[in-house]
């Protein structure tokens, strides 16, 4: 079975792995995200030890995913200044003469979950991560969603909880979803890390209130067949109960599908691949890029 | 050139037409939407006068668009009780032994605009209608968006305008987008029909405030390459100025694309096909269904 490389480029660490398209990982390392000059040579050194056919990258963003753009494959307007405008794809391509696929971390995780995880066999799913930030990727009719750019679903507007006086911390929109419901917002609002607030019902009620609103919007716009909720904050599994409750209240019977009513626990689920959704999706992206490059070589 | 039939099934009228895939309409009629028993025989009689290869239907909804469902092609939970659970697709199929395509009125309008209208040459666009109701269709990578069901974007949540005391009129969600910004909501809030309020700046400022919020959500979720705003309310063209202003304020530079900044007037536009977006899209849907049926006959 052919070996592929996978990079999950995150804001705190780069996870690099070598594995096969059935999701089996042969070897992996985790490299702290410092400057490109410090981090990238270690990434390259790891893959140089292996014979691989292609590499897939799932990157933190925003990134340029437009194949026709001059800056395709760059990280763009990130607040992590060392990485602003960094040509991540081109750098990896220059180091290895093999196909390299490139997409967002969350789109790649959606791909992983769609092919080998909780949405296996479903041609349309949504993967959402709630952690340091909030982001989502969508797999639609077998393709990762992309238009003018990749989705930026974490920044949608939500209505304020009546008991929430916290101002929000998104530098662009203050109290958008990410500004109110990502991990750092929970910590700033309540004065403790999410993990230390496990037993505070009001914390998870409010978190569920915001996440449910975002799911309502995503469902009405995209109509996913499965929704996967990952990320560190979602390790507080009891928040799901509030999400289900508020989502059903908000939709109020408008969509008469069992996925929303009696079967909601099988509709909105945790990742089937656990923390491996992203790295598995990156392996699958590598294989996809490899197949496409073979097909275009034949033409 | 082959002739196709097109049905734009609306809540007030059924527009039926015969034409070609270049959008040229040879003949059309408009039939008032009463009960199925009264309306449908007239629809059938119209097409019986023509030699056509296939029919495309763009219907008001909600409708069942799941080809694997037992009730595929039915109008489902509409408040128009005479049409509830009506098998629109099957009835037309039974009357003619030709392929019949079926989708929502707004998805079909998106198809028309994508192939022959304002989004010609663009593989990804969003069509929104603001009229008696609010709905949207999306064309993504050459396919009409559909998952668990068709999009129901008109019912997304928006934040209330600080000066808006109107309760909203959506029977499910009260003050969702449609409940606050569709034509009947404008009329109920201000006591006059939209068309009689043309010169009232506060009306269009508030309308722009709500529509801009919905566009922000759609852009962050779907990232369309072109947005087309149709429907009766949008004939008040000056509302676009408020939409542009509020959308830029809301996004606040987060998406650094000229489509959002300097070129917004070419990004969010009126329909290129005017009131013919739906009927033209239905012709295209007919041709698509015809091609697919030929392809599956060969296999």
For residue range B106-146, list pLDDT tens digits in order.
Answer: 999 999 999 999 999 999 999 999 999 999 999 998 899 99
Which of B153, B158, B213 is closest, CB to CB, to A221?
B153
Whichever domain contains B43, its CATH number is: 3.30.420.40
Q: Is B20 within the bounds of a domain?
A: yes
Which domain, by its residues, includes A180?
Answer: 118-270
The whole-angstrom separation of Cα A20 and Cα B116 is 44
Task: Please indicate, yes or no, whether residues A87 and A202 belong to a single structural domain of this protein.
Answer: no
Which of A153, A159, A257 is closest, CB to CB, to B148?
A257
Query: Nearest CA to A7 among A279, A289, A293?
Result: A279
Q: Is B276 within the bounds of a domain?
A: no
Q: Tell me how close the Cα of B250 comes to any Cα of chain A, in angstroms.
A: 7
pLDDT at B61: 87
Parts of chain A with a pLDDT under 50: none
Task: Judge contact between B128 and B230, C-beta under 8 A.
Answer: yes
Q: Is A283 within the bounds of a domain?
A: no
Which of A172, A221, A255 is closest, CB to CB, to B217?
A221
| Contacts B156 to A, Cβ<8 Å | 216-217, 220-221
pLDDT at A24: 97
Residue B66, Cβ neighbours under 10 Å: how many?
15
Question: What percentage of chain B carries pLDDT values higher than 70?
Answer: 100
Test the A interface: residue of B147, B160, B164 with most A CBs within 10 Å = B147
pLDDT at A113: 98
**Minimal Cα distance from B260: which residue of A?**
A148
pLDDT digits (tens, 9 = 90+) for B232-278: 999 999 999 999 999 999 999 998 899 999 999 999 999 999 999 99
Task: Please indicate, yes or no, whether residues A132 and A248 belong to a single structural domain of this protein.
Answer: yes
Q: Is B208 within the bounds of a domain?
A: yes
Test the A interface: residue of B221, B226, B256, B266 with most A CBs within 10 Å = B221
| Contacts A213 to B, Cβ<8 Å | 157
| Contacts B225 to A, Cβ<8 Å | 147-148
Task: Please indicate, yes or no, whether residues B163 and B214 belong to a single structural domain of this protein.
Answer: yes
pLDDT at A58: 98
Q: Is B297 within the bounds of a domain?
A: no
pLDDT at A77: 84
Task: Please indicate, yes or no, whether residues B66 and B23 belong to a single structural domain of this protein.
Answer: yes
| Contacts B157 to A, Cβ<8 Å | 158-159, 213, 216-217, 250
Task: Please indicate, yes or no, whether residues B132 and B214 belong to a single structural domain of this protein.
Answer: yes
pLDDT at A256: 83
Task: Please indicate, yes or no, whether residues A19 and A132 belong to a single structural domain of this protein.
Answer: no
pLDDT at A108: 97
Q: Is A175 within the bounds of a domain?
A: yes
Which of B141, B218, B223 is closest, CB to CB, to A150?
B223
Task: Please indicate, yes or no, whether residues B166 and B208 belong to a single structural domain of this protein.
Answer: yes
pLDDT digits (tens, 9 = 90+) for A89-145: 999 999 999 999 999 999 999 999 999 999 999 999 999 999 999 999 999 988 999
For B107-141, letters b (16+ CB in 10 Å) and e give bbbbbbbbbbbbbeebebbbbbbbbbbbbbbbbbe
Helix (H) or strand (E) holding B25: strand B25-32
- What's the mean pLDDT in B97-113? 97
Test the B interface: residue of A222, A258, A259 with most B CBs within 10 Å = A222
Task: Please indicate, yes or no, whether residues A162 and A99 belong to a single structural domain of this protein.
Answer: no
Task: Please indicate, yes or no, whether residues A140 and A34 belong to a single structural domain of this protein.
Answer: no
| Contacts B61 to A, Cβ<8 Å | none
Q: Tell me how close the Cα of B230 comes to any Cα of chain A, in angstroms.
A: 18
* Contact criterion met (CB < 8 Å) for A221 and B225: no
Q: Is A96 within the bounds of a domain?
A: yes
- What's the mean pLDDT in B134-159? 95
Domain termination residue (choose one: B104, B127, B144): B104
* Contact criterion met (CB < 8 Å) for B145 and A140: yes
pLDDT digits (tens, 9 = 90+) for B177-216: 999 999 999 999 999 999 999 999 999 999 999 999 999 9
Give chain B's contact residues with A (Cβ, < 8 Å). Answer: 76-77, 124, 140-141, 143, 145-153, 155-159, 172-173, 213, 216-225, 250-257, 259
Which of B146, B149, B220 is closest, CB to CB, to A155?
B220
Residue A167, Cβ neighbours under 10 Å: how many?
12
Task: Please indicate, yes or no, whether residues B26 and B166 belong to a single structural domain of this protein.
Answer: no
Q: How many domains does chain A have?
A: 2
Domain termination residue (choose one: B77, B104, B131): B104
Q: What tokens appear for B180 in the block?
A: 């606050």
Task: Please indicate, yes or no, whether residues A90 and A164 belong to a single structural domain of this protein.
Answer: no
- What's the mean pLDDT in B68-93? 94
Asked if residue B164 has pLDDT above 90, the reply is: yes
Distances from the Cα of A219 to the Cα of A126, B142, B168, angstroms: 9, 21, 21
* Contact criterion met (CB < 8 Å) for B172 and A145: no
Task: Please indicate, yes or no, whether residues B92 and B122 belong to a single structural domain of this protein.
Answer: no
Q: Is B24 within the bounds of a domain?
A: yes
Residue A178, Cβ neighbours under 10 Å: how many?
28
Lateral strand order in the sheet of B227-230: B143-144, B134-140, B124-130, B227-230, B268-269
Domain termination residue (choose one: A104, A132, A167): A104
Question: What percentage of chain B carries pLDDT values higher than 90?
Answer: 94
């Amino acid at each position: 079975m052919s070996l592929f490389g996978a990079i999950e480029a995150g804001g705190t660490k780069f996870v690099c792995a070598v594995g096969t398209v059935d999701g089996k990982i042969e070897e992996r390392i985790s490299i702290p995200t410092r400057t490109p000059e410090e981090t990238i040579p270690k990434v390259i050194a790891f893959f140089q030890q292996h014979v691989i056919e292609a590499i897939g990258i799932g990157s933190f963003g925003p990134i340029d995913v437009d194949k026709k753009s001059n800056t395709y494959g760059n990280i763009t307007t990130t607040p992590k200044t060392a990485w602003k405008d960094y040509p991540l794809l081109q750098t990896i391509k220059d180091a290895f003469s093999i196909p390299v696929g490139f997409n967002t971390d969350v789109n790649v995780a959606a791909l992983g979950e769609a092919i080998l995880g909780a949405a296996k066999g479903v041609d349309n799913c949504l993967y959402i991560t709630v952690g340091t930030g909030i982001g989502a990727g969508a797999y639609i009719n077998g393709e990762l969603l992309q238009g003018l750019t990749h989705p930026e679903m974490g920044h949608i507007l939500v209505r304020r909880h009546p008991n929430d006086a916290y101002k929000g911390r998104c530098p662009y929109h203050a109290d958008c979803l990410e500004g109110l419901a990502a991990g750092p917002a929970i910590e700033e609002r309540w004065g403790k890390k999410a993990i230390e607030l496990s037993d505070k019902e009001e914390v998870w009620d409010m978190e569920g209130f915001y996440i449910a609103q975002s799911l309502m919007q995503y469902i009405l716009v995209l109509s996913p067949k499965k929704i996967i909720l990952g990320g560190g904050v979602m390790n507080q599994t009891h928040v799901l109960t509030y999400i289900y409750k508020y989502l059903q209240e908000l939709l109020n019977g408008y969509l008469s599908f069992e996925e929303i009513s009696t079967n909601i626990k099988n509709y909105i689920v945790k990742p089937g691949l656990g923390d491996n959704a992203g790295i598995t999706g990156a392996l699958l992206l590598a294989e996809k890029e490899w197949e496409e490059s073979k097909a275009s070589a034949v033409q």
